[in-house]
Chain A
Amino acid sequence: MNPLADIATGALNGLREVATNKVRSLLSMSGIILGVAALVTMVGIVQGLLNNTRASFEADGGILKLEVEKKELDEDQKHLAGISPGLTWRDILALEKTTQLANYISPIVNLGWERLTGKGRPRGAPVVGVTPDFINIQEREIKYGRFISDTDIKNKSPVMVVGSFVPENLFNGQENVVGERIRMNRQVYTIIGQIEELFSVLSSGSALSRKNRVCYIPATTAMFRYQGNDSISKIEMIAADVDVMPDLIQQVDNVLSQTHRGINDYEIVTQDERLQDMKRLENSFTYSLGGIAAISLLVGGIGIMNVMLASVSERIREIGIRKAIGARSHDIALQFMAEAVVISVLGGLFGLVCSVGLLTISRNLIPGGDSINVLPFTAMAFGFISSITIGLISGIYPALRAGQLDPIDALRYE
């Protein structure tokens, strides 16, 4: 016999055994089926979830985003608290004039949770003053109308850009609310734009859900028509490139140091920490999934080994007959190994089919589940290869036991 013929014969015998003992084979496969299906399904869902988290991170400006926030003064500058200017519109003007390493700069003027009135009953929503660059910082899409323009900033126009919450809840689900008027604290604003809705696997209560509720007005309108001063909550900007980030931080620090006359009442925050958190989350998912998959596949492997040992015991006489007519120990061992591998390969394939079904159901049932990949090839390949490996490992002991049987004893076995 040549090795290829050995393997082909072994696989054929394996298939024959599986076909002859359908229920037993299916039971022995069940561990592998569940293990592979669970592994691939969970990886698919988690990948979708992480994709959404990544999308949310990217939608929020991603790694290129830089924020300047207000900060408590250090101990050695506490006595300067009275003359601390805080973040102001002057900082924005100075940064826009001098900072070429940033592609976009926008102030954030948080007006807080405001009571808005449209056509129905009033509802609360966060209102934020921003400049035209903001739409590029957040990478949001305009569904209808336009975003805030330079002219709106210059004229301190009473205009508003709304998220998907407003048409749904303040205008009774009206599709396009551009041109409608909305009232905020006795001031009337004209809606000039409607932002495309953001979706997430994580439904209500998530950061993305909150984003859909936010309404934007020109920063100058927020400051001068509403607040009555040029104070801003924070500054957001997008670096031209990851490589220029250290220079940009230095540049922003230099500019603000001048506008703040050396008072260190601000801090520059990058997205590094958030990125690290996200990576930690990805890693913890990977390790947890790896653990679950390893346990499932181990259980599957024990199931196969158990069934193969039972199969060896049941077929001792057959082993004796085969040896009497010339089978060598390794021919017998190979036959049982091939059977174990056939069981695990079939189990792996059934597991993959189940996982595709489960992922399709998950994609349709989970809100915003569009990001779930129904065919996560890497996970599928890993699951399938793992099932074959488990089959090989769990088949070794029963196969060796079968191969070592003495032909005379095996033939006498009743």
Chain B
Amino acid sequence: MVDGKAIYRLEQIRRTYEVGGELVHALDGIDLSITSGEFIAVIGTSGSGKSTLMHTLGFMDSPTAGKMVFEEQDVSNISRSLRAQFRATRIGFVFQAFNLLPRLSVLDNVVLPLTYSRARFSRKEKMARGTSVLERVNMAHRLTHRPSQLSGGERQRVAIARSLINQPSLILADEPTGNLDTSNRGRVMELFSSLIEEGITLVLVTHDDEVANYAQRRICMQDGKIIEDDQG
């Protein structure tokens, strides 16, 4: 379902940290264009810069240098508040550790991003949208359960539902199958594939070649650089 329209463009992105008096180049001149509807797998060894790339794409971190254009808007040097707004409305996150709030029900976890989206939703609207996305991930029967009452695969499906609630342009998944057994890993990846068919854009970081094989495009990173971009 790739429609050919670039939603994200990174030009010579650098992210440098100072660790123990030494400069570490976590991202070292990244050029990347993400097209709407793409499913990209980012692979690489630990410390290759995958997570930093995810955090930069997800507005959790800012580049030290370079240009970022998101949905035709230069977002290279935007404020913390605007970054938060992008995270709330245009980006969906899926984490390896699920990162659901244990005290909230499944439904409350899923609708939580709406609270921060600056748009006004009535409780009824929130519940309707939450139920709808939970139906998409086949978790509508677990609305009132707490995360602790779910299996790992179910928790990840709830986390995916949460990432979908604001109808984002891009979903970023950081090792989403890292904590799952083989059968649940397969189910989660099938779910991602079906979402791609519905038009979702997904960037997924993984160590797992089998998971990466689901993607249409594979980007391999090393020492903060993209060393291979296999567009299938």
Interface set of A (CB-CB < 8 Å, partner B): 1-2, 5, 9, 16, 20, 317-318, 320-329, 331, 407-408, 411
Q: Report chain A residues within 8 Å CB of B85.
A: 326, 328
Of B87, B95, B115, the residue contacting A1 (CB under 8 A) is B115
Q: Report chain A residues within 8 Å CB of B55.
A: 408
Residues of A contacting B: mostly? helix
Most chain B CB within a 10 A radius of its CB, from A9, A318, A328, A331: A328
A325 & B95 in contact (Cβ 8 Å cutoff): no
A176 to chain B, nearest CB (A): 72
Give the segment of B29-37, B116-124, B176-184 that binds chain A. Answer: B116-124
B169 adjacent to chain A (CB < 8 Å): no
Complex CA–CA separation, A317 to B166 (angstroms): 22
Of A2, A16, A324, A331, the residue contacting B99 (CB under 8 A) is A324
List the 7 closest pairs (A to B, CB-CB), nearest first.
Answer: A326-B88, A326-B116, A328-B84, A325-B113, A326-B87, A321-B99, A327-B116
Of A2, A9, A329, A408, the residue contacting B60 (CB under 8 A) is A408
Complex CA–CA separation, A331 to B115 (angstroms): 10
Complex CA–CA separation, A331 to B88 (angstroms): 12
B80 & A329 in contact (Cβ 8 Å cutoff): yes
Interface size on B, residues (CB 8 A): 26
Complex CA–CA separation, A407 to B99 (angstroms): 13
Can you show 27 pairs from A to B with CB atoms below 8 A apart? A1-B115, A9-B115, A320-B99, A321-B99, A321-B101, A322-B101, A322-B112, A324-B58, A324-B60, A324-B93, A325-B88, A325-B93, A325-B116, A326-B84, A326-B87, A326-B88, A326-B89, A326-B116, A326-B117, A327-B115, A327-B116, A328-B80, A328-B81, A329-B80, A331-B116, A408-B55, A408-B61
Q: Which of B76-131 contact A (CB under 8 A)?
A: 80-81, 84-85, 87-89, 93, 95, 99-101, 103, 112-113, 115-118, 120
Complex CA–CA separation, A407 to B174 (angstroms): 15
Q: Which residue of chain B has its CB nearest to the CB of A318? A: B101
Most chain B CB within a 10 A radius of its CB, from A5, A324, A408: A324
B87 & A20 in contact (Cβ 8 Å cutoff): no
Q: Which residue of chain B has its CB nearest to the CB of A2? A: B120
B170 to chain A, nearest CB (A): 14
Q: Report chain A residues within 8 Å CB of B103.
A: 16, 20
B157 adjacent to chain A (CB < 8 Å): no
B155 adjacent to chain A (CB < 8 Å): no
Q: Which residue of chain A has its CB nearest to the CB of B102? A: A318
Q: Which residue of chain A has its CB nearest to the CB of B119? A: A1
B162 adjacent to chain A (CB < 8 Å): yes
A19 to chain B, nearest CB (A): 10
Complex CA–CA separation, A322 to B87 (angstroms): 10
Q: Report chain B residues within 8 Å CB of A318.
A: 101
Complex CA–CA separation, A317 to B101 (angstroms): 9
B163 to chain A, nearest CB (A): 8
Q: Report chain A residues within 8 Å CB of B88.
A: 325-327
Q: Report chain A residues within 8 Å CB of B84.
A: 323, 326-329
Q: Report chain B residues within 8 Å CB of A328.
A: 80-81, 84-85, 116
A14 to chain B, nearest CB (A): 13
Complex CA–CA separation, A408 to B85 (angstroms): 16
A141 to chain B, nearest CB (A): 64
